[in-house]
Amino acid sequence: MTATTNPQPGPITIGVFDSGFGGLTVLRTLLDRFPNARFVFLGDTARLPYGSKSRRTVSRYAAQSARFLVEEQGAQFLVIACNSASALALEAIQQAVPVPVLGVIEPGADSARAASTTGDVLVIATDATTRSHAYSAACTARGLRAFEKACPLLVPLVEEGWTNHPVTTQVIRIYLEELFNEAHANGLTPDTLVLGCTHYPLLRPLIEQAVREFAPEGFRVIDSAEATADAARALIGNTIPPTTLNQDQEKKQIQCFATDSVEKFERLGTSFLGRPTGTVQLVDLGG
């Protein structure tokens, strides 16, 4: 991918896409790296979850969403915060829009490479992401062995707001016990766990607590949000003129769109973003 340029005067517009509002965890880190950029975020909440759908369907939904951000909202650079869309539809999205597109899988694998000493890493993600083996491929390309596990109950639990609930604690414990047992049975000595889904950073305290039961001291839990923001910085990098947002632009620095459930987005999205999402606008992308 080549670096982007900002031909328009004023702040660059970065589009961030997710199947829902979990991708706000990625937007959060992007805001740190790009304090003077304008962000348009789209959550395709009407068609969530992507994590249980086929490549064909995810590609169609994601390409439509990407076109909305670029053609209607003027995004000059796209970050696909959704792991499932990054795993299944990155190429389809790149073909659909004429701007650089960055997914979360490669940066996530870079983080795993930097974190792991044994070279064996675990990945938890949606069913679609694990079935695609996109993380395995990216990890293998970096000399790592990856062992993936789908944890399909975790997204609905987060969507329900049960990020600190005994049921969620128990579900995570069961998944991780299985994961460590299966990895050891396959001869791996993992020292790093990749959170390969937008929603899982919200469960990090519970996941870290469960990891302590099954893994030795020093075991690392990582997510791709920070690495993705760093990769975006490297790509957009110095091509951004040192603009400062004026007061009016600051108020509109983030514009969020959703294809359904805007009230839920505004309510739960604030905890993902770490600041109020502002008014979320409803958009209809068709079927």
Q: Which residues bind ligand DGL (CB under 6 A)?
A: 18-20, 22, 48-51, 82-84, 126, 129, 155, 197-199
Nearest residue (beta carbon) to ligand DGL: 51
Closer by beta carbon to ligand DGL, 82 or else 280: 82
**What order do you get walking across the sheet with 145-150 strand by strand?**
145-150, 120-125, 192-196, 220-223
Closer by beta carbon to ligand DGL, 126 or else 192: 126
State the nearest-atom distance from the C-beta of 19 to ligand DGL, in Å. 3
State the nearest-atom distance from the C-beta of 226 to ligand DGL, in Å. 15
State the nearest-atom distance from the C-beta of 125 to ligand DGL, in Å. 6
User: Are 1 and 79 contacting, i.e. CB atoms less than 8 angstroms apart?
Assistant: no
State the nearest-atom distance from the C-beta of 149 to ligand DGL, in Å. 14
Closer by beta carbon to ligand DGL, 18 or else 120: 18
CA distances, 131 to each of 82, 126, 128, 196, 201 (Å): 15, 9, 5, 13, 21
Q: Is 197 a catalytic residue?
A: yes
Give me the catalytic one of 139, 151, 197, 256.
197
In the block, tokens 């962000």 appear at 39
Closer by beta carbon to ligand DGL, 18 or else 106: 18
216 preceded by cis ω (within 30°)?
Answer: no
State the nearest-atom distance from the C-beta of 15 to ligand DGL, in Å. 16
CA distances, 183 to each of 98, 143, 170, 253, 262 (Å): 41, 17, 20, 44, 40
Identity (one letter) of the amino acid at 59?
A: S
Closer by beta carbon to ligand DGL, 125 or else 215: 125
Q: Is 139 a catalytic residue?
A: no
Candidates 225, 268, 259, 222; CA nearest to 114 is 222
Residues catalogued as catalytic = 82, 197
